[in-house]
Amino acid sequence: MTPGIRPLVAGNWKMNGLKASLAQLTAMASQFDAALARNVDLLVCPPATLVQAAAAAAVGSAIAVGGQDCHANASGAHTGDVSAEMLADAGARFVIVGHSERRADHGETDAVVKAKAEAARRAGLVAVVCVGETRAEREAGKTLAVVRGQLEGSIPAGMTAADLVVAYEPVWAIGTGLTPTAADVAEVHAAIRSDLERILGKTESGKLRILYGGSVKPSNAAELMAIENVDGALVGGASLKAEDFMGIAAAYRG
């Protein structure tokens, strides 16, 4: 945790979820009581087909809804893509950009991610910029260099803590059940904070939320969320069920 920074627990549903899945969002909202809401923000990012319905279902709760990706352009001949403006119009307040699955499956470069982060800011959305190393890069001792390069290439100049969240997700830990040691997470998050100070300046870097993602679950959430410079979590599979997601959020229950 970072003193003075309000944590965020975000759920990325990835390519999962039909209309019936919104019952899980409703259950999350019912469990997000005032005592917990005083300590942490919650965000759920369903597939694009459910963003509008999820935003409607979340009305009256303190849960924010976001998208999982956006195109850099506001509109145009881009069949199958969704713009940041469209997400905002559907009720989204955040959008994930640069997730490792987008970088790997769609060949997204840092420059592409940067353009999407700029689009998010243009549309009034908070960009959740993801960074993280592969297993080969970690074993080669390149973790900090890889993450630094992704940060420098993916974050637009002039971003502030109000329109940016950074999520560190070691690629080898996503959906594998593997997690880095607490010391490993602390080292990378401290390096990210230092890199952000160089990129954005001390004032903004000191307020910006840095999330950890990669096989976060109720059983390890308290340990991970207590690490210095870890300001919340970006949760994958465990965010699909209200019991698991709220079990992670419970790490912030006073």
Map out the domains of the chain as residue ranges. 8-252
Q: 3-state class of 1 per DSSP? A: coil
User: Does residue 204 have an active-site annotation?
Assistant: no
Active-site annotation holds for 197: no
pLDDT confidence of residue 193: 98
* DSSP E strand stretches across 60-123: 63-67, 94-97
The CATH code of domain 8-252 reads 3.20.20.70
Rounded Cα distance, 232 and 104, in Å? 24
Tokens 């594998």, located at residue: 176
Residues 144, 180 contacting (CB under 8 angstroms): no
* Tokens found for residue 244: 């698991």
Q: Give the active site residue among 108, 118, 169, 204.
A: 169
Q: Per residue in 60-102, pLDDT tens? A: 999 999 999 999 999 999 999 999 999 999 999 999 999 999 9
pLDDT at 174: 83
- Give me the catalytic one of 99, 101, 108, 133: 99
Q: Residue 213, SS3? A: strand
CA distances from 67 to 90, 126, 210 (A): 10, 10, 18
Distance CA 133, CA 150 (A): 9
Q: HSE on the CB side for 245, CA within 13 Å?
A: 30
C-alpha pair distances (Å), 61 with each of 26, 33, 54: 9, 9, 11
Rounded mean pLDDT, 97-117: 97
Residues of the chain above pLDDT 70, percent:
100
Whether the model pTM is above 0.95 = yes
Each residue's pLDDT tens digit, 1-31: 898 999 999 999 999 999 999 999 999 999 9
Q: pLDDT at residue 226 above 80?
A: yes
Which two tokens mark 31? 């469990």
